């Protein structure tokens, strides 16, 4: 379509540049085609911007035949959809044949047709459309060799201003440092999705980020299709929380090790089978969730994460725990459901702050450890195992509120066993047997 310029200011540029826009109709909303066209027409040098829409009477091929040859320059919006579009392919190939100037506009360089990769283009910035439009406009002037003040093109003027990584810039309504914008932008390219600023990040947050003092402090990347993380994520020094569950990560991302302020790390429902010894560097970690992976062992260095309060290894392949786990004196919740434990590890008796211990759906046959030191234990879940008895030392636990020993088919309800259960119930403990 033509942009109606009746209400626009009078043009004082004699040439009156005509621009042809080539894009996949599926991308119209993503690339803000209408808005970009309207903004460009407001420029003095630009006479009109032409682009086809599905509701027009002419079909796209007639439209191209009528107007492509009349234009001075083609804006080619590059995407996967554009690469699959026969009409878009015909437009840029025809433009090449008749020697029209072409400016690729892209999210990722891989979406630019191979024959056009050598041409100057503009990276599309959906979080800062005004900057994108100014860069397009400046490059139009450069391509057509239109000089501005002092004989310098607007494009050269923009490019002369080097990007300052410590400059605070707008990003999706937030104000953050440029180098952190670069990290989020890289994640957007990797996922093919856009971020949104949110006040609160939870395990349900998809492509969300929170900011404090112009620094990214929380990231939600649930179900983002990630297999790896960019190295640059290690530069988010103020990051306190990151949620990465329901992705396809096969190895623990080493860049995370640099995040010394990280307190919450959710990596459930991935495909990892090991953790690196370097995990010890996450000294600030409080909540660590690794459920539904393929972990069969844990590094000894996990015992150095002494600020941990919550640790979830549900649905892994663990058979034992390292001795160093006993160093986690602040740990309050330990979830080991659906693993392959045959006995309760002795080292758990050192976890003096432990309140909740979930050991259900394992292969436990014996429970012989002395739990008297676990004075803060409130919930003990051993359902669906092969236990034959429970230790008498459970009676001494003053904080115990619930014990679940249901579905232990081998449980021996001897007189001594019944006596233990009666004493627990007398103390107000709920016993699910």
pLDDT in tens, 298-326: 999 999 999 999 999 999 999 999 999 99
The pLDDT of residue 143: 85
| pLDDT bucket at 56, cuts 50 / 70 / 90 | low
The pLDDT of residue 189: 84
Give the C-alpha separation, 284 to 286, whole Å: 6
Strands 287-289 and 310-312: parallel
Instruction: Tell me the average pLDDT of the chain.
Output: 88
Condensed to tens digits (0 to 9), the pLDDT of residues 103-149 reads 999 988 889 999 998 888 899 988 888 889 999 998 898 888 776 54
The pLDDT of residue 245: 96
Lowest mean pLDDT among 16-20, 217-221, 288-292, 397-401: 16-20
Structural domain boundaries in the chain: 17-160, 172-432
Q: Are 371 and 349 in contact (CB under 8 A)?
A: yes
Lowest mean pLDDT among 155-169, 200-214, 335-349: 155-169
Helices and strands, number each (H, E), in the chain? 8, 19
Tell which CATH architecture fits domain 17-160.
Answer: 3-Layer(aba) Sandwich (3.40)
- Tell me how far apart the terminal alpha carbons of the chain are, to the nearest angstrom: 74
Q: Is the per-residue pLDDT at 364 higher than 90?
A: yes
Lowest mean pLDDT among 158-162, 216-220, 317-321: 158-162
What are residue 166's phi and psi, to 5 degrees? Answer: -95, 5
Higher pLDDT, 153 or 300: 300
| pLDDT bucket at 281, cuts 50 / 70 / 90 | very high
Among residues 252, 261, 257, 200, which one has the least CA distance to residue 227? 252
Q: Is the per-residue pLDDT at 151 higher than 70?
A: no
Sheet with 310-312: strands ordered across? 196-197, 206-212, 215-221, 241-243, 264-266, 287-289, 310-312, 333-335, 356-358, 379-381, 402-404, 430-432
The pLDDT of residue 145: 79
> For 212-228, what is the mean pLDDT?
96
Give the C-alpha separation, 203 to 195, whole Å: 15
Percent residues over pLDDT 70 in the chain: 91
Give the C-alpha separation, 210 to 372, whole Å: 43
| pLDDT bucket at 57, cuts 50 / 70 / 90 | low
Rg of the chain (C-alpha set): 31
Bridge partners of 310, per DSSP, are: 287, 333
- CATH number for the region 172-432 comes to 3.80.10.10
pTM exceeding 0.85: no
């Amino acid at each position: 379509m033509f942009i109606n310029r009746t209400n626009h200011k009078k043009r004082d540029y004699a040439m009156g540049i005509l621009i042809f826009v080539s894009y996949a109709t599926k991308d119209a909303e993503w690339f803000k085609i209408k808005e970009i066209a309207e903004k460009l027409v407001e420029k003095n040098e630009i006479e009109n911007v032409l682009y086809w829409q599905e509701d027009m009477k002419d079909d796209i091929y007639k439209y191209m035949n009528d107007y492509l040859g009349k234009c001075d320059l083609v804006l080619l919006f590059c995407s996967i959809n554009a690469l699959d579009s026969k009409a878009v392919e015909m437009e840029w190939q025809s433009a090449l044949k008749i020697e029209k100037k072409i400016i690729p506009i892209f999210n990722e360089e891989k979406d630019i047709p191979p024959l056009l990769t050598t041409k100057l283009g503009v990276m599309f910035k959906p979080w800062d459309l005004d900057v994108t439009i100014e860069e397009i406009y400046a490059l139009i002037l450069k391509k057509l060799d239109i000089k501005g003040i002092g004989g310098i093109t607007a494009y050269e003027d923009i490019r002369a201003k080097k990007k300052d990584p410590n400059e605070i810039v707008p990003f999706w309504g937030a104000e953050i440092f440029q180098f952190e914008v670069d990290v989020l932008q890289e994640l957007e390219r990797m996922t093919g999705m856009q971020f949104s600023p949110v006040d609160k990040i939870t395990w349900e947050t998809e492509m969300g980020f929170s900011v404090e003092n112009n620094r990214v402090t929380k990231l939600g990347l649930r179900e983002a299709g990630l297999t790896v993380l960019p190295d640059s994520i290690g530069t988010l020094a103020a990051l306190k929380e990151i949620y990465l569950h329901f992705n396809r990560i096969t190895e623990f991302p080493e860049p995370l090790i640099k995040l010394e302020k990280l307190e919450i790390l959710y990596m459930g429902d991935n495909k990892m089978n090991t953790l690196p010894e370097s995990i010890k560097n996450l000294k600030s970690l409080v909540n660590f969730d690794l459920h539904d992976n393929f972990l069969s062992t844990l590094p000894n260095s996990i015992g150095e994460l002494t600020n941990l309060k919550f640790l979830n290894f549900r649905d892994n392949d663990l058979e034992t725990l390292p001795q160093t786990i006993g160093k986690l004196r602040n740990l309050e919740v330990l979830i080991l459901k659906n693993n392959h434990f045959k006995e309760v590890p002795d080292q758990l008796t050192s976890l003096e702050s432990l309140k909740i211990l979930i050991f259900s759906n394992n292969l436990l046959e014996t429970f012989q450890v002395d739990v008297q030191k676990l004075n803060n234990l409130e919930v003990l879940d051993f359902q669906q195992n092969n236990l034959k008895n429970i230790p008498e030392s459970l009676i001494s636990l003053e904080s115990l509120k619930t014990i679940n020993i249901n579905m232990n088919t081998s449980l021996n309800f001897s007189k001594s066993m019944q006596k233990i259960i009666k004493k627990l119930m007398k103390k107000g403990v709920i016993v699910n047997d």
